[in-house]
Structures are given as structure tokens and as C-alpha cells.
Chain A
Amino acid sequence: MQGQSLTSEQDESERFDLLIEAGRGEKNYWRDLWRYRELFYFLAWRDILVRYKQTVIGIAWALVRPFLTMLIFTFIFSRVAKLPAPGSIPYPLLVFAAMLPWQFFSTALAEASNSLIGNANLIAKVYFPRLIVPAGSVITSFVDFLITLGLMAVMMAWYGFLPDWRLLTLPLFVILAFGSSFGAGLWLCALNVRYRDFRYIVPFIVQFGLYISPIGFSSSIVPEGLRLIYACNPMVGVIDGFRWALLRGQSPLEIRGLIASTIVASILCLTGVWYFRRTEKTFADII
């Protein structure tokens, strides 16, 4: 009896391409994600196109925001609070090297967490792997990041502070930043679908993070004993890594802290995907 039902099941799946059933369709998921890669591209393309429509200075906003923040932070932390910069690093470079990943992380997080709600009509009317939506937001923020990176290059040339071989390790830290923002973004956007409270929590996280991450200052001013706990904020590892890779290693990189940050980012990413996949099926019903 058991065997019989098994073979008929096999017949079914051979004849039909698609079985829709409660809790099924899992095995198609990653294949679908690949099949829908063009949609992923188009959504990111749309967001980039739309982003600066009807603005006067357009994409220059991607430069103005971090640049102004950098000026203010330099003024407050270097001139007013008189915090030291490690080695011979000009303070503006110290701040801007941190602004780069932070800006990427915070925009990606904010955009990703609102992405599902912002695309509610798509979610309710069309099928596609939902993972595409928050992933697209992260990619869009990455484009801004690349533009800001150009500004960093200009500033480094201006100060005559050119990077060395360590620059080649930068992509690793970019991946770490990607992982952190994607993981956190997945959690927040999935939670946001059901609990709109997160619409208010996310700006708070971003604002809060700006001060607890080592952006206006070097993480070396954090007391020795607290560093490892501090590094559980994955952005600490990312920012330290960015400074180390961009600024000729004059800003120290603690391996233990980096490992802690990497572990936290990986956990965030894996559980983010897990939670997203678990709740994804109900998005259309509750959004």
C-alpha cells in the first residue's frame, strides 16, 4: 500500500512541472531564484532609476550626505572632543573610511526593511521568490556605495595618503558589510510585514548605530576589556577592516574582534534567510 502510493506520487511529479501544496515547493526555491535573476536585475535597476528622479542634483546626493556627515563628525570628534587618530591618519580620512561602509549598511538596512511593504502590490499579485526584493534593495544601496568610494579615492589623493597592498583585502570587508546588512535586512523586512512597529524601530536602530559604531572615532579608544563585546556589533569589524585596508594598516585591526564580527554577521545572515523563508509563504496573506 505504502509502495503503491509512492510510485503514483512519482508519476505525478514526472508529468507535472509544479506541485502546489502546503509546505511544498521548497526544492524549487533556489532554482526559481536563479530563473528570476533578471527580475532581480530589473527591480534593482528600477530602484536606481527612481531614486533620484525629480531631484535637482540627482545622484550627487549619494556624495553630499556622507561628505557633510564626515565634516560634522570630524569637527565634533576631532576639534571639540579632541579624540586622537591612530598613526598619521588625517582625521577626515579616518571618518570617511568608516562613513563608507556605514552609509552602505544604514541605507541598505532602511531600504531593505521597507522593501516588502513598499512592493506590497507586487507581493499580493505576482509570484516570484520574495528574497529578490530585499536583496535588490541591498544592491541598490551598493551602487551608492561605489559612488562614495570614488569620493574616498579623491580625498585620499587630496591628502596624498595613498593605500598600499592592504587595499586588495577590501573586497573581503565589503562582503562582510553585505552579509551584515542583508542578514539584518531580511530579519527586519520579514518582521515588518507582520509587525509594522518595525517601521519605527529601524530608523532608531540606524540612528543609534551611528553613535555606537566607531564612525566618528577609532575603536582603539574603546577600553581593552570591552573590545570583544564591542565587536559583536558586526559593523565594528567592517569599519575596522575598511580603515585597515584603506589606510595602510595604520588603524589597527584586531583579529579576535574581526572573527567575532564575522561570526555575528554569519549568524545574522543564516537566521535571516531561515526566518524569511519560514514566513515568506504568508506574506501575501498578511501584507
Chain B
Amino acid sequence: MSDVIIRAEGVGKKYRISHQLERQSRISLFSNSTKNEDFWALKDISFEVRHGDALGIIGRNGAGKSTLLKILSRITEPTMGRVSIRGRVASLLEVGTGFHPELTGRENIYLNASILGMSRAEIRKKFDEIVAFAEIDQFLDTPVKRYSSGMYVRLAFSVAAHLEPEILIVDEVLAVGDVAFQRKCMDYMKSLARRGTTILLVSHDLFAVKTMCRRALVLAAGGLQFDGSAVEGIDFYEKDSLLEADPWAAGIIGEDIDQWPIVIRSVELLNAEGSPRTVYDYGERMRARISYEARRPVKYPNFYFGIRRSDNVVCCGYSASRDGVTIPSLDQSGVIELLTLPLRLVSDLYSTYAVVWDHEFKQLYCGQIGPNFHVRDEVLNQHFGVFHVPGEWRWGVNSGGKRVAATPSKENK
């Protein structure tokens, strides 16, 4: 018949908020936390997954992605609807679930693998492969509490990677570990997909979704907003997420974005020539086109465009008034464009944000989160720091002092 192996029909999940309150603070015996506010983390989700699909699930925090994965992996029950599944499911909602810090690497491999659903015979068969993949052989008999976080993550992912399930559910686990290992994990997942494993991947890393998945679901506020090709899904998500208020700004100006004096309608990332980009090569220039809408007249607005690395390190920021652009007043819609110097950021995932201050950085008018982008370079990664600029080197034997040029050919492309 059909090769549908997951079918979700009208799945919904309701949480009762008062339980949460009750759990957090039971200081007073007489606390009257009886108001039961219902909260639908998921509403009426229906979709089908076919054998061998690689499906990306994207959405903002709180959109219901994790709840959906928890229902699919049977950790929690849906309140409504049903899901039918065919085949062995392995879900990896966290790296190293059940690792015990006091146990050795060897012991944890057995424990973790059995928690993830492997039989003892299977573990024994895969044991050497797991150790080799994790690159931890000489620490096999050390308690994992002595491991570096990198080793820990490598071991944990390695166990999970050797499950060989028919359906693999993965939540955000690629966000950990160093870049080289992340790539290894991605490659491994791709090889699983090639062998016919169906993959469901939740990630904030749209780049990972784009490279791994052919299809994407976009969730927002518990509802299914989009179901289609990954490329279109990511576009949809990015368009939809442009208007998200930066929590920091919302804390100052207020949560209600409609009350702000000025809002950013969109931030488009382009290359120097003006065509849209999500991936930049190291050393490329970036053009950010910011469309704004002033609801009330704003005096001396100072547009600011910032770049944050995936781990929330603020890497750089461009301020219009700092760069000598003075706008006396704004009272309608318009576009402002920034062309950066060649980007010297190392390869990673970055997010952007656009903020409007007054020219003295005293009053904040708005602050919103823009699209993400990647910087690509074969060599330069976080080991080089936040950014990398070429230097001039001199090299010689003892007093000699022979000048060597700083190979500008590669850096200045």
C-alpha cells in the first residue's frame, strides 16, 4: 500500500498552567492557586511522513516543536488526536540522557545505549565502533565526570548515532560540540538517511535543516503553519520571524510591538551586489536592507544593526549615527541600507538584530530580531576567535630578520 510510516491526525496537547504554579511554590498552605488556565501547546496538527523522508521541524521557542517530538517519542500523551507509527523509533531529545557522572565511559556506553533502546547483544556488537567514532579510547575507563565537555558530547552522540533505528527523532543535539564534530554528526545522519532511515530533525539551525532535510514543517504558537519543501519552509519561517521582538528590547519598551513608535518591517541580507544571501564567504561584504515604519514622529533616530554568534556572543554592531549619518526626524515608512566592510567573522551561524535608538543611545525606540546567516570558511572557525584579520609576520633565523608577506591573496578575495 502506501509507505506512510508516521501519520499524525489532529494531534493536540493541553497543559494546565496552575499545575506548574503549584509545583513551583507551595510555601503557603493556603495559597489559592486554583485558577486552571488551559494552554494548548499543540493544536490540531496533522501530517504524514513517508519512509526515508528527512523532515525538518522549525519554529520559534514555544512554538510546540519539543512537545510534538515528545508525543512522537511517547514521553507524553496527546490530549487529542492520534499518531500512528510503523517501525522502531529512536529519539534523541538530549545528548547523553541518563549518563551517570560517576560511571566510566565504558559503563555509560552500556547504560545509555540500553536507555535508548538497544539490546545488550547489539551494544556489544557496536561497542568498538562507538568508541572509535567518539575518539575517546584512552579514557574509556575514566569516570565521565572527569571528561571535558567536548568528550562527553562526542561519546553521547556516538552512542545515539549507532542506534540504527527506522525512525530517528533528533532535537537540537547538533548545537553542541565543536564544529568538526558537528560536521561528522551531520555526515553520519546523512548516511543514515541514505540507508533509508526516516529522520525528524528539530533545529534552530536553519542551515542544518536546509542541508539535511527535503521537507519542513513550520510550527507557530502550537499550530502547523507550513508543510512543504525545506527551502520554502525556511523562507516562510524567516519571513514570519522577522517581526519578532528582541526580548531585551521588549523588556524596556514593552511587549506589545504595536505600541512602539517605530518598527522594523523586514531585514534583508544581501551581498554587495544586492542579491539575497544566507551564506557568506569569509571576507565578503554584507548589505543589510532594513525596512522600517514610523508610527509616530521620531527625533534623531539612530539605526543600529548588530550581529550575534549562535552562542549569543555579540560580535559587532553598526550604528548609523556613529558612522556619521544624522536623520533629524522620521514619520513614515522607508528603507535604510548598510554596506559593511568585508566580514572578518569566522565560520559559524550568526543571528542579526536591528535596533533604533535616539542619537545619544539614551532612548530605545525599537529592537527586533533579524534573519540568520552563515559565514563559511574551510579553515577559520571558533578556534581563531570571534573574527580573524590577517597579520604581518616576520620570520628569520636568529638575528636575520627576513620579511615574509602575509599571503593577502586568500584573505582579500
Give residues in A with beta carbon < 8 Å to B.
12, 15-25, 38-39, 42-43, 45-46, 49-50, 53-54, 119, 121-128, 194, 196-197, 281, 284-286
Contacts and interface: CB of A to CB of B under 8 A. Distances in A.
A23 B81 CA distance: 11
Given A16-B7, A50-B102, A281-B76, A42 B115 contact: yes
Contacts of A50: 100, 102-103
B111 A20 contact: no
B114 A39 contact: yes
B78 interface: yes
Contacts of A281: 76-77
A285 B15 contact: yes
B317 interface: no
Contacts of B81: 21
Nearest to B72: A20
6 contacts: A17-B86, A38-B120, A39-B114, A46-B100, A126-B93, A127-B73
Given A20-B77, A21-B81, A121 B114 contact: no
Contacts of A54: 102
B110 interface: yes
A42 B94 contact: no
Closest 8 CB pairs of A and B: A16-B84, A21-B82, A127-B74, A20-B83, A42-B114, A18-B85, A125-B97, A284-B76
Interface residues of B, number: 41
A121 B94 contact: yes
Contacts of B97: 121-122, 125-126
B107 A18 contact: no
A53 B102 contact: yes
A205 B77 CA distance: 33
A39 B120 CA distance: 9
A115 to B, nearest CB: 13
B353 to A, nearest CB: 31
A16 B115 CA distance: 23
A121 B95 CA distance: 11
B111 to A, nearest CB: 5
B71 A20 contact: yes
Contacts of B93: 125-126
B327 interface: no
B75 interface: yes
Interface string B48-80: 000000000000000000000011111111111
B322 interface: no
A12 B84 contact: yes
Contacts of B85: 16-20
A128 B114 CA distance: 11
Contact of A122 (B15, B71, B79, B115): B115
Given A21-B83, A22-B77, A126 B116 contact: yes
Contact of B78 (A17, A22, A49): A22
Nearest to A20: B83
A42 B77 CA distance: 26
B19 interface: yes
A135 to B, nearest CB: 15
A46 B111 contact: yes
Contacts of B91: 126-127
A129 to B, nearest CB: 10
Given A127-B91, A284-B75, 12 more contacts: A15-B1, A19-B83, A20-B71, A22-B79, A42-B110, A42-B114, A49-B103, A121-B94, A126-B97, A126-B115, A127-B74, A284-B70
Contacts of A194: 23
A15 B93 CA distance: 27
Contacts of B86: 15-18
Contacts of A124: 75
B98 A49 contact: no
Interface string B19-63: 100010010000000000000000000000000000000000000
Contacts of A21: 77-78, 81-83
